[in-house]
A and B are shown apart, each in its own frame.
Chain A
């Protein structure tokens, strides 16, 4: 919506030519290989990112930068070449006019840039406040929680705010957080990890926080970034024009595996999104298949001290978060693990098939809800398959796949990543993976 406003107010003609010329070099290089740059800020796919992109043109900033660059660079080189003398033959008494300055000129080139910058500032300040505009009541709000080195998302499905009334004062507000590690959640809300699924064409408001260090949430094609700071609650928003996959990256340095803290946003059309949300609100099924059931047994023995699977059978203590032996006191909730196309902080794909490279945005959003089904159906064309081998490697030795300080710190008794499980045999790993594949 901000795009249309900006368009009406812009004083620059928005034809292709007038835009492309002044930044020809940069724009060409940036857009030349458009399709294989999933993080390209020059290809906005949502109104917020679009307004940031437009800002630089509408305010004339790129043009001013281009003009000044050309003037100084070529002016400097031109003057240097034109006025140069040969030191070998130069007569030191052949002095140029000894100008000491020119007040008019200098005042002019003090004031002129100031005026230009003042004009640009108006555009910027307007956009700064536009970026803060919240969505309509009733539209989706998502809480984004960063921790080393993955993202958790909590969906306020019933729209009652983010927290239960933890302290019982009758108001649901920030005071209800059990600072800062545990964020109280309504039973009807949804928890997922790594991939944020949103409805396309709708502004989704985010509340950002962190459980350990500062991270930054950035989906370049949808909006700029904002830091997630422990102990603080920041707001931000996203909107995708079209269904699709939009990748992102944690952009505030957050320690060891900062480079492997990636995420994506999957925008679905309304019907698909509703179906996705309805599924996420279901409990997981206790598998009947013997292999998966055996896997569930192993999971019950090895994994539930960190990972939550809400299937109505696993029991977690009231103060579960405090007992999780991690600095962040949280591990990804795996209730619907098999619905996600990536895991391990967005660096591995759960499925093999067209567009499933976790860093690529080529995944077809219309099959997103069917990934698990397609991969399990032996009759369907051999497009999507459960990526068993990689997942087995991950479960067996996660720190070998991704740098994590998983070893438990003797002082605190806490680690910072998934432990290796060398005690699991190959068969047991198969069973665990078979169980995970049932979590759709």
Chain B
């Protein structure tokens, strides 16, 4: 049975596709600011650090988003605190904090539930998207877009020139933590699509691909979401057709689009450079 036909037949596949598209859009948008701020490692860290939050929420039977957000923000604050109050560099602080959170999450989950659940959290389980999951993802997607539209000029300025923003009294730190909160929300939404381990790829790869094609931030945001959505659709198709895990399939497509851009984009100019020679 081919993908299109299956889509028309099975509700679960439609839910999976819509969910993957929503995640593609929001991670593409947020990812642009993550890479422009040089925070790829931070994005990786926060997406892993939500694991204990997911476990605790699962144990207490509360909303995953709530548990994950609390632990995501906690990790961001702790990283900031360690970096500010010791001589270790920021990437070291990130490494120490997020691996501890991640390890804690593993232990909690192994205490709480079966190995199957852990597998789904780590690698995603897009074919089991429920209606309520879909609703939550849609709400989070709307919030993310609202956040970026509302704070577009501040996000742009603080990514480019934070000192200038601080000098005129803008609360740069507050926006940083707001962005970290948004990042945790995106991570949780992406849990089912790609899983915790590969969330960072959905944040960084589409944004990096878009970056290679344009010098304008608003164009980059648009392109990045398009790459995110294309990866999601093509990845899901691959996953269905060849019986592959959906998360890795989506990420491989995104990486392929990056590779093509790396060679052919006018800005990166690997091909342009070769032709000029």
A and B part of one assembly: no
Chain A: residues with CB nearer than 8 A to chain B? none
